[in-house]
Structure 1
Amino acid sequence: MAPKHFLSAATIVLNEHNEILLIKGPERGWEMPGGVVEEGESLKNAAIRETKEESGIDIEVTKFCAVFQNVSQSIE
């Protein structure tokens, strides 16, 4: 049975020149690294893992900046 909702984490990665890391995805184009949080995984660890998987870069999470919920889609 598929879960009724997904929890995702995305990162804003800045370098020493305040440049933002973007990943070019095959379907959506340029976007911040991120993806689905695995069962039992924290948001912090998911952000670190997804950034490493998508860019090869190790990051340190220094703060959380937002939580977003899409309330326009209903799941049945």
Structure 2
Amino acid sequence: MFEIAWFCPMTDLQTLVDGTIKVCVEEDGFRHCGFVSSHHLVDVKAEQLRHLIRGTASAALLGDVATT
């Protein structure tokens, strides 16, 4: 039997009326969103948001009050 030992973050996409795509990533209880102008940019933006979340989660764990 195969067991997954890592958590896959949730990514939500929403296309707005002007064609802009809202990308939201949720991981470790944190959620960050960003906007892109084309679907080919979604993966890059999602990775940027995951990186931001991991920095935020790390700072929260270490007690860094300067992180928002």
Using structure 1 for the length normalisation, give the TM-score. 0.35
Higher helix fraction (1 or 2): 2
RCO greater where, 1 or 2, for CA within 8 Å and sep 6 or more?
1
Higher strand share: 2
Give the TM-score of the pair, scaled to structure 2.
0.38
